[in-house]
Structure 1
Amino acid sequence: MMNNNVKKYEAVDTLGRTSVELVVKVYDGAIASLKQAAGAYQKGQTKEGYDSIEKAKKFVVHLYTTLDEDKGQDIARRLSQLYAYVIEKLNIVQATKDLSLIDDSITVLSNVREGWDQLAGQIKHTTAKTENEPHQEKPVRGVSFSI
């Protein structure tokens, strides 16, 4: 029952968000899963750590597979390389339990997440500014309308 309520909340939480804000949420999920993995491994809970790494990898794979190389060009290519790097490091963590690689992955993802978050803020600011501009009457072939 509780899990069902959480899923409903998460579904509602995504409504009304921009695609950039949703990307930030995916980064948040990956980072949270990595923190859970680190905590589990530190407590000797190998299975939980492994499972949390798997969850984090799913988030990163989602980011990777949704890249639009036609639109993103060089940025998409660089992000693709970055995601491949993180997934490789997480595979090594699962084999060796080297927690420093979790920290490295969190740092990499957090830095990129920060850039996406700044972009989301700029989009919100621009959208709010545009919505608050006064409407002007524009004549079109003798008819006026507000834009």
Structure 2
Amino acid sequence: MHKAANAYMQTQVTTTTPGHLVVMLYDGAITFLEQAKGEIEAKNFAKKGILISQALDIIAELDGSLNADKGGEIARNLHKLYVYCSTRLLQANLKMDIAMVDEVIGILSSFRSAFSEISKNPAHQAPPRAAAYYAR
């Protein structure tokens, strides 16, 4: 069953638009952080740490995908906000602070909403290069 789920996710990632892929990344980070809040409440320190680390990995991926040359000031501001979110999550992890996690969820949710709206624009609906490669 796990293999089937991984195959489905791989297909979904390689056949979606870049904008939708960004939305999926935000969804993943938010999901991990919501789960981490439950683990903080349950005092399951190890699982909380793993979930926050997974969200941090997604934020690092989003940050690493920024193009400062093409994105200009928007990319620089997003970078600063990603660094801020990462810092807050590291603090939340150490302090077991649900409020800090909620703060980051709020920021990521705002980004998710914005990218969801942007990706609905037909000009941003071009298939990713990987999808074109596999369509041959």
- Fold match, TM over 0.5? yes
Matches within 5 A, 1:25-104: 25-104=24-103
Task: Provide TM-score, normalisation by structure 2.
Answer: 0.87
Amino acid at match of 1:112: F
Task: Report the RMSD for the aligned CA atoms in angstroms.
Answer: 1.6
Contact 2:66 2:79 in 1 (8 A): yes
Distance 2:125 2:20 in 1: 14
Q: Which has the higher contact order (CA 8 A, sep 6+)?
A: 2
1:88-134 residue CA offsets vs partner (Å, 9 max, x unmatched): 0000011100110000000000001100000011137988xxxxxxx
Distance 1:111 1:36 in 2: 19
Question: How many aligned residue pairs are there?
Answer: 126
Q: Does residue 20 in structure 1 map to residue 19 in structure 2?
A: yes
Query: Which is further off, 20-29 or 55-64?
Result: 20-29
Q: Secondary structure at the match of 2:15?
A: coil
Compare the two structures and name the one with the higher helix fraction.
Answer: 2
Q: 1:63 to 1:125 in 2, by over 3 A?
A: closer
Stretches (4+) displaced over 2 A = 123-127
1:33-84 residue CA offsets vs partner (Å, 9 max, x unmatched): 1011111111111111110000000000000011001110000000000000
Compare the two structures and name the one with the higher strand fraction.
Answer: 1
Distance 1:10 1:125 in 2: 21
Amino acid at match of 2:24: K
Distance 2:30 2:47 in 1: 15
Point out the structure with max Rg over C-alpha: 1
Identity %: 29
